[in-house]
Structure 1
């Protein structure tokens, strides 16, 4: 399967905007299997407003009202999130020669149920991964723990997308992790379709280069 999983070093680091830019750059379909929190605009609704072809945004499998960890939000509604259903739906969404960009919730160790974490789902999907990171106090630790967990799980990593203002930590993280930098998406006051299109064009060459490899 031609799955690209967008994970982050934590919550609120820019995964959704990175997902939009990657999907736009590749002409890919976008899918968020589990959306927790329906009070505000969902990530899928955000992507429909940002992609040049909003038909590429696929419906969530699980839509949970509570803005919390997926396993807690699901438990509140008497639901158990099932890994095999997510994998089956990903297979159904596959199209020849069209990548599927899958956005996770939070980071690798976010639980989907009492036994399955996001990192387990990535493995089951057979996905290659892009890690989204942002600079903040403690982010080096979170970056390197994320990289270590993916390497130990033998999950292929395409590279890093850094979000926000440039920081010298980026060079250290790339060096220590031995995963390449795909791009940095700058911070802007308002993210528009035009901004996503521009960033997609900028990151496309590096993204295609690293996608053509065998992973890390």
Structure 2
């Protein structure tokens, strides 16, 4: 039952946001009483904490699987972006922004975990790209990896990028292209141009 509650919570939080969904909503969706939910989660904060951790672990495992394929590093970035967007349902409710606003302690913990995963993933991607001569060999890998993470976090700030003006999918695409154009060699830019064309065709 605990897993069912987490899975349904994840679905509702992603669609409607952490603030909007109540314990009553969750109980109604599952066809159970609130008492049953409280057996597993004493309050909504504990439920949000467990659900965000579950989402994080699911996405981290997916990113690891993609990274282990050792694909072209530029292609890998697009594959990871696609995987994350599918799992976060294009972030229609801007869950990370709401998490930061209403559950700051959970957000801070999650951000630290996300940084560790992304720092390893991006650093490995950059080093592999340099070896394959797709990325410039004079870039500072540690600086770029931290800048990339910081930019990804900023994209989810609705004060900077309101969802009525930008879809999360578009923001991610703009940012990835911006990132890659800054570090690619001429060889890398050829690959990037091909992938951008494929993306346009598949839209």
- The TM-score with structure 2 as length reference comes to 0.28
Structure with more contact order per residue of length (Cα contacts < 8 Å, sep ≥ 6): 1
Largest Rg, 1 or 2: 2
Q: Which has a greater percent of helix?
A: 2
- The TM-score with structure 1 as length reference comes to 0.26
Q: Which has a greater percent of strand?
A: 1
